[in-house]
């Protein structure tokens, strides 16, 4: 689900930090990261289709990958565009009800080292200080891991946690999670995670493509959180126990 | 180990597959001593359940002996003899807390697939497609059972495997179908289908004080309904069911109807042919002849209880009849964990012996042939029980 910037501002999501790009590069840092991620996804998806349209997708994916890793976009160059201005973030909003006390849910989430237990793309989160933390996410496919530092900018025990990445982050992101009492002893979790999308026509297309992917991945993350809090483990089927005759 | 694997429509084979292992702390591994083919397995066999993959291990009615437990399981130990509910439930989510175990929030690893199709996902099930979790089933020598501290129920040594095996699905399923009717003493309940679930629904409705009328077209099944459930029986190929039901109830119609047939119903006449053609062409996924007739036959203010399995969409649905008569619909996968202990008690007390429905016993290796026998209702086949150790 994508929120408008107005709604997100009203909900108190922090603004993104600005990182000026190096001179020889005409694609902003966040957009590079997004190009890399989206390019990787597209290439993988396109190649897996084993069809002509699939190959075309893979080709577009490859171009995006190049654009992301080099920071140079031939199309932007030709059009005289350079993207360093701040676009509205892509906002992913997901909610979930869990059978656990608000205090327990908050405490589990606030111990940031717990996050990789349910956020699948995260490798580690280490607390550097009480409010500052270092996050490492798995690189997509053959891409290397990405890491960034984040700061908890608001922390109301039992109610909400708000964080944002610090200047220099590979992936410029921010988010907040709010805990509310639901009916029948449930705790309602409302999470909002934002990534800054690329700009320009290509960027719009890429953001549109990524939005549902990120949305469903955040949804899966929160579902895993619920499984761990309620049942103590994430359900798994064994993919190996099957016939191959 | 040996396991019965699905390879496509009407293609099931006994393959050698890797033994299951403990993956989560709350798992247990069960060595299977008895397993059965369920009528709902025939929907898989006939290719009507989506998200099946070649190689999937089938089977959701199984029991056996605990051979290994994860470190989170303190309620079971090696050597315990257990029956395993076909619905997988965590025991601690909102729905489990309401004893709606088949609606468990946590047991389906592929909940997202079911959410895409149904809006929200029910519990995981053993051996019943990837949409239901992709869990390997129990028509095998061993099975991994998640949430083993909640699921498997110990059974006393005084009862044989054949007596308790059907606590895993069909007995609780028939019982819940009857309970869903909210039967009061003297109510008339008409049951479509005299397969195992229909028979257990009839027996349960009788236990709850109902007069039961059973409908089928196979004489051996009608005989069983008469003999074991004390039902009055109708062969729908021989009589006009709606007219006869009206006469049998002095113009009131049945107070409640139970549709224990499901998505591959057989019927008569034009609408049945219409359903068959549309289902074959996949223009409609579920063939609902019995359901439509049950709705039409149900008396005013009655309940339509549906233990028969549906997976997708039906059309020509006579909602107007249901609306016009103020009917209540109750359905869904069985909350096995809710009913199993009380039904086990009935068996221990000698109130009934569910093994009466077994018509075929065979080693697991005979399963592929018996799927076909069962599907085609050959040799009077009503219930197949397999012994993986034979």
Give residue-wise pLDDT tens across range B335-371.
999 999 999 999 999 999 999 999 999 999 999 999 9
Enumerate the H helices of chain A as residue ranges.
5-10, 29-49, 52-70, 74-79, 102-110, 115-118, 200-231
Q: Which of A212, A231, A239, A245 to mutate to test the interface with B (most CBs of B within 10 A)?
A: A231
- Which one is predicted more confidently, A148 or B322? B322
The question of ipTM being above 0.95 is answered as: no
What distance in Å separates the CA atoms of residue B68 and residue B63, rounded to the nearest whole number? 14
A183 touches chain B (CB under 8 A): no
A237 touches chain B (CB under 8 A): yes
Q: Which residue has the tokens 């496919």?
A: A141
**What average pLDDT does this structure show over B169-191?**
98
Kindly report which listed range (A132-141, A152-161, A179-188, B190-199) carries the lowest average pLDDT score.
Answer: A132-141
What distance in Å separates the CA atoms of residue A27 and residue A33, rounded to the nearest whole number? 10
Instruction: Please give the helix or strand (H or E) that residue B273 lies within, else none.
Output: helix B269-280
- Express as a percent the part of chain A with pLDDT over 70: 55
Nearest to A238 among B105, B107, B136 (CB): B136
Contact A195, A90 (CB under 8 A): yes
Residue A96 has pLDDT above 80, yes or no: yes
Q: How confident is the model at residue A215 (pLDDT cuts 50, 70, 90)?
A: confident
Contacts of B63 (CB under 8 A, 6+ apart): B30, B32, B33, B34, B35, B81, B82, B83, B84, B155, B161, B164, B165, B168
Residue B161, classed as helix, strand or coil, is: helix
Average pLDDT, chain B: 94
Angle between helix B170-179 and B336-348 (nearest 10): 100
Instruction: Tell me the chain A residues in contact with residue B21 when contact means C-beta distances shorter than 8 Å.
Output: 238
The whole-number pLDDT of residue B121 equals 96
What distance in Å separates the CA atoms of residue B236 and residue B213, rounded to the nearest whole number? 12
Kindly report which listed range (A30-44, A103-117, B129-143, B353-367) carries the lowest average pLDDT score.
Answer: A30-44
Residue A4 has pLDDT above 50, yes or no: no
Instruction: Tell me the chain B residues in contact with residue A183 when contact means C-beta distances shorter than 8 Å.
Output: none
The whole-number pLDDT of residue B140 equals 98
A237/B134 CB distance under 8 A: yes
Residue B253 has pLDDT above 80, yes or no: yes
Residue B120, classed as helix, strand or coil, is: coil
pLDDT in tens, B256-266: 999 999 877 67
Contacts of B358 (CB under 8 A, 6+ apart): B162, B382, B383, B384, B385
The whole-number pLDDT of residue A37 equals 56
**Which residues on neighbouring strands pair with residue A44, listed in sequence order?**
none
* Phi, psi angle pair for B352, to nearest 5°: -160, 160
What distance in Å separates the CA atoms of residue A154 and residue A131, rounded to the nearest whole number? 9
Most confident segment among A6-10, B249-253, B260-264: B249-253
Q: How confident is the model at residue A147 (pLDDT cuts 50, 70, 90)?
A: confident
A235/B55 CB distance under 8 A: no
- Express as a percent the part of chain B with pLDDT over 70: 96
Where does residue A210 rank: exposed (0-12), middle (13-18), buried (19+ CB within 10 A)? buried
B25/A233 CB distance under 8 A: yes
Residue A88 has pLDDT above 70, yes or no: no
Geometric angle at alpha carbon A236, from A101 and B47, rounded to 5°: 125
A81 touches chain B (CB under 8 A): no
The whole-number pLDDT of residue B1 equals 97
The whole-number pLDDT of residue A75 equals 52
Q: How confident is the model at residue A2 (pLDDT cuts 50, 70, 90)?
A: very low
Q: How confident is the model at residue A74 (pLDDT cuts 50, 70, 90)?
A: low
The whole-number pLDDT of residue B256 equals 98
Distance from CA of B51 to the nearest CA of A (A): 14
A231 touches chain B (CB under 8 A): yes
Neighbouring C-beta atoms of residue B319, cutoff 10 Å: 9
Distance from CA of B339 to the nearest CA of A (A): 22
The whole-number pLDDT of residue B7 equals 97
pLDDT in tens, B39-94: 999 999 998 888 999 999 999 999 999 999 999 999 999 999 999 999 999 999 99
What distance in Å separates the CA atoms of residue B74 and residue B67, rounded to the nearest whole number? 14
The DSSP secondary-structure symbol of B97 reads H
Residue A81 has pLDDT above 70, yes or no: no
Kindly report which listed range (A17-21, B238-242, B384-388) carries the lowest average pLDDT score.
Answer: A17-21
- Please, how many CA atoms are within 13 Å of residue B302, restricted to the half-sphere of its CB? 23
């Amino acid at each position: 689900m994508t929120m408008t910037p107005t709604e997100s501002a009203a909900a108190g999501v922090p603004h993104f930090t600005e990182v000026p790009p190096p001179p020889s590069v005409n694609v902003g840092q966040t957009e590079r990261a997004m190009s890399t991620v989206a390019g990787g996804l597209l290439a993988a998806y396109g190649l897996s289709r084993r069809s002509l349209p699939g190959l075309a997708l893979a080709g577009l994916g490859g171009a995006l990958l190049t654009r992301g890793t080099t920071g140079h976009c031939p199309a932007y160059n030709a059009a005289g565009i350079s993207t360093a201005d701040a676009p509205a973030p892509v906002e992913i909003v997901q909610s979930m009800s869990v059978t656990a006390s608000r205090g327990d849910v908050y405490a589990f989430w606030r111990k940031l080292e717990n996050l990789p237990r349910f956020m699948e793309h995260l490798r580690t989160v280490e607390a550097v200080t009480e409010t500052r933390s270092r996050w490492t996410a798995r690189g997509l496919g053959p891409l290397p891991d990405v890491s960034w530092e984040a700061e908890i900018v608001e922390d109301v025990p039992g109610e909400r946690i708000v964080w944002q990445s610090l200047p220099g982050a590979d992936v410029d992101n921010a988010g907040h999670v709010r805990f509310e009492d639901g009916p029948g002893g449930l705790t309602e979790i409302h999470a909002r995670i934002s990534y800054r999308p690329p700009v320009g026509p290509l960027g719009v297309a890429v953001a549109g493509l990524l939005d549902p992917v990120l949305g469903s991945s955040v949804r899966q993350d929160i579902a895993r959180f619920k499984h761990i809090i309620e049942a103590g483990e994430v359900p798994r089927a064994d993919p190996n126990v099957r016939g191959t005759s | 180990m040996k396991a019965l694997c699905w390879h496509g429509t009407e293609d099931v084979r006994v393959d050698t597959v890797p033994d299951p292992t403990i993956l989560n702390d709350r798992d247990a591994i069960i060595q299977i001593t008895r397993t059965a083919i369920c009528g709902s397995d025939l929907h898989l066999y006939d290719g009507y359940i989506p998200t099946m993959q070649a190689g999937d291990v089938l089977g959701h009615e199984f029991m056996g002996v605990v051979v290994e437990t994860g470190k989170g399981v303190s309620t079971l130990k090696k050597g315990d003899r257990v029956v395993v509910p076909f619905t997988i439930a965590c025991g601690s989510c909102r729905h489990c807390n309401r004893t709606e175990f088949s609606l468990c929030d946590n047991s389906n690893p592929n909940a997202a697939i079911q959410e895409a199709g149904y809006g929200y996902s029910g519990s995981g099930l053993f051996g019943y497609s990837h949409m239901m979790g992709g869990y390997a089933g129990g028509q095998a020598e061993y099975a991994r059972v998640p949430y083993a501290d909640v699921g498997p129920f110990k059974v006393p040594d005084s009862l044989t495997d054949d007596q308790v095996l059907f606590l895993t699905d069909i007995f609780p399923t028939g019982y819940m179908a009857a309970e869903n009717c909210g039967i009061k003493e003297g109510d008339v309940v008409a049951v479509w289908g005299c397969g195992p679930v229909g028979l257990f629904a009839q027996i349960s409705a009788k236990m709850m004080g109902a007069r039961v009328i059973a409908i089928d077209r196979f004489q051996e099944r009608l005989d069983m309904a008469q003999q074991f459930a004390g039902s009055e029986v109708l062969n729908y190929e021989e009589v006009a069911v709606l007219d006869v039901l009206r006469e049998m109830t002095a113009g009131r119609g049945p107070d409640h109807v139970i549709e224990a047939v499901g998505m591959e119903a057989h019927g008569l006449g034009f609408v049945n042919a219409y359903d068959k053609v549309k289902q074959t062409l996949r223009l409609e996924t579920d063939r609902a002849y019995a359901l439509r007739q049950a709705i039409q036959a149900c008396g005013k203010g009655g309940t339509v209880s549906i233990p028969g399995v549906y997976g997708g969409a039906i059309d020509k649905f006579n909602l107007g009849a249901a609306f016009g008569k103020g009917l209540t619909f109750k359905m869904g996968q069985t909350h096995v964990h809710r009913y199993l202990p009380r039904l086990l008690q009935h068996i221990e007390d000698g109130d009934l012996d569910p093994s009466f429905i077994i018509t075929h016993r065979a080693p697991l290796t005979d399963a592929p042939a018996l799927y076909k026998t069962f599907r085609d209702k050959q040799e009077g086949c009503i219930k197949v029980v397999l012994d993986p150790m034979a």
